[in-house]
Amino acid sequence: MLRVRFAPSPTGYLHIGSARTFIFNWLFARHNQGAMILRIDDTDVQRNTQASLDSIFDGLNWLELGWDELYHASERVDLHRRRAEEILDRGLAYRDFTPAAGEDDDTKERAGGAWLFNPGMREMSKEESDRRAAAGEPFVLRFRVPRDSRAEVNFEDLVYGSQSKATADIEDFALLRSNGLPTYHMASCADDVDLRISHIIRGQDHLTNTFKHVLIFEALGGANLPQFAHLPLLIAPDGSKLSKRKHGPVVSVLTYRDAGFLPHAYVNFLCLLGWSPKEDREVMPRQELIGRFSLEGVNRSNATVNFTDEDPLDPKAVWLNAEHIRALPAAELSARLLPFARAAGFQADEATMLRITPLIQERIRVLRDVATAADFFFVDRLPSYDSAELIPQKGDIVMARSVLEQARGILATAEFSHDSLDAALRAGAQTLGVKPGQMFQPIRVAVCGRKVAPPLFQTLEVLGREKSLQRIGQAIEKLPKAA
């Protein structure tokens, strides 16, 4: 059984790059009828926060993907320690009693090459090591990288191909800290073995860590290593990595949720960053995503999330979202729109929202646009607008007034359905000797308060006779008297 895992550490909000890693794992699992495991890698107790954990779950839940099993690394430290001690017992690790380096310690750098180990510790006799440990002297447990007996470490990456690194370039990394807690490397590998993870799919920032992990897996006596697949990173337009401090809220998935992205659209967008399906497919429902996903389609270079200070949302993400919005059944869209309408302060009920939804469905790009696209349906009084807006193309105040008065007469008796309104108002225009557009525009401005709005007849239909007549009356009064 194929098993994959997503292992975030709760030291920050759910990062958009992390979300994509989760999505790729999920898609891979679903495509192959495997299991998706969520493992909270909370081994750094100092930096973990509940707020971060909440934000991660909020983000993951919003994506509407789900997982099959859930674990917390912090509840499994006994296992991690046992595994580390096994490695020590096999002579593949050693105790390093060197005191922790201070802030200004730079002995590990500028030595020309890389730091590999602290002098005197690697070769310490077992007796002395055991004695000092028994005496309570603190130590870190380090992996004894076999630089003498082995030239290099190799593994096959499903995305980046065959990888190798000289053991001479791998330092004796820590397995256990001096406080007895496992490091990320130790905990992660022990858990991957214990949870029988078959494929490790994660960010490319772990590509070089993988050599260390291979050493740990081997030391743990694993018969078969998991397969590895590293994903290109998501970066900012300036080429730097996405950071909250530098790039603000665009790096958090909750920002997209709050802006009114559909989770399916957002997932679709993230999939297109670093992966491309066959046949140039772009707008894809979830089932198609699952059906098409494969690691062969993952590419190797970092992808830029395209945002600016003025426009914090990637234009392609916005377009994809609009595509998904248009593809949604009106009832579902309406239900998703409702909370955003209420958040905008509208007294919105389900029935009204459902009538408005088809009018704005292909005019909004994010759910939050409901606030600016449908406002005039909800307000009692239109916000004030420039009465000059009421004057039609190639017309004047006189024309505006006669059009509006004509409309008032027609709408007083017309049936409020699309076709009747269409016929009646066009006839009205003909009577007046004006073009249809010259007739419709003043009415539109009168009932919507602006020139840009959904089609007029449906708008009137939803607005109803009373409100329409009232607003047209107000518009006529707004018009300057003298010509």
Partner RNA sequence: GGCGCUAUCGUCUAACGGUUAGGACGGAGCCCUCUCAAGGCUUAAAUACGGGUUCGAUUCCCGUUAGCGCUACCA
* Residue 98 in the binding site for RNA (CB under 7 A): yes
Q: Which positions ≥6 away from 25 have C-beta within 8 Å? A: 4, 5, 6, 36, 201
Closest approach, Cβ 158 to RNA, in A, equals 12
User: Which amino acid makes up residue 345?
Assistant: G
Hey, which residues between 340 and 399 contact RNA (CB under 7 A)? 362-363
* Residue 184 in the binding site for RNA (CB under 7 A): yes
User: What pairing do the DSSP bridges indicate for beta strands 3-6 and 35-40?
Assistant: parallel
Closest approach, Cβ 277 to RNA, in A, equals 9
**Helix (H) or strand (E) segment spanning residue 140:** strand 140-143
Hey, which residues between 61 and 80 contact RNA (CB under 7 A)? none
Query: Which residue's CB is nearer to RNA, number 272 or number 411?
Result: 272
And the tokens for 350? 């389900």
Reference 84, options 132, 137, 140, 126; nearest CA is 140
- Please tell me which residue in 126, 244, 246, 394 is annotated as part of the active site: 244
For the beta carbon of residue 351, count every other beta carbon within 10 angstroms. Answer: 9
Distance from C-alpha of 395 to C-alpha of 442, rounded to nearest angstrom: 10
Query: Which residue's CB is nearer to RNA, number 105 or number 349?
Result: 105
Find the helix packing angle between 436-448 and 456-463, rounded to 10°. 40
Among 260, 263, 274, 428, binds RNA (CB under 7 A): 274
Per CB under 7 A, which region of 29-37, 173-181, 219-227, 397-405 contacts RNA? 173-181
> Residue 36: beta bridge partners?
4
Cα 37 from chain centroid (whole Å): 19
Query: Which residue's CB is nearer to RNA, number 32 or number 458?
Result: 458
Closest approach, Cβ 50 to RNA, in A, equals 16
Hey, which residues between 275 and 314 contact RNA (CB under 7 A)? 275-276, 280, 282, 297, 299-304, 306, 314
Closest approach, Cβ 406 to RNA, in A, equals 15
Cα 184 from chain centroid (whole Å): 25
Binding characters for RNA, 21-40, by CB under 7 A (x = yes): --------------------
Closest approach, Cβ 272 to RNA, in A, equals 4
Among 85, 169, 258, 389, binds RNA (CB under 7 A): 169
Annotated catalytic, 394? no
* Residue 207 in the binding site for RNA (CB under 7 A): yes
* Residue 192 in the binding site for RNA (CB under 7 A): no
Query: Which residue's CB is nearer to RNA, number 275 or number 346?
Result: 275
Residues 186, 187, 189, 190, Cα dihedral to 10°:
100
CA distances 57 to 15, 62, 153, 160, 259, Å, are: 12, 8, 36, 30, 18
* Residue 185 in the binding site for RNA (CB under 7 A): yes
Among 257, 264, 444, 471, binds RNA (CB under 7 A): 444
Per CB under 7 A, which region of 85-93, 189-197, 204-212, 338-346 contacts RNA? 204-212
Query: Which residue's CB is nearer to RNA, number 47 or number 90?
Result: 47
Per CB under 7 A, which region of 30-38, 184-192, 219-227, 462-470 contacts RNA? 184-192
CB 71 within 8 A of CB 80: no
Closest approach, Cβ 127 to RNA, in A, equals 22
CA distances 213 to 143, 151, 185, Å, are: 11, 17, 7
**Phi-psi sector, 388: left (phi>0), alpha (psi -120 to 50), beta:** alpha
Binding characters for RNA, 232-251, by CB under 7 A (x = yes): xx-x-x-xxx----------
Active site positions, annotated: 244
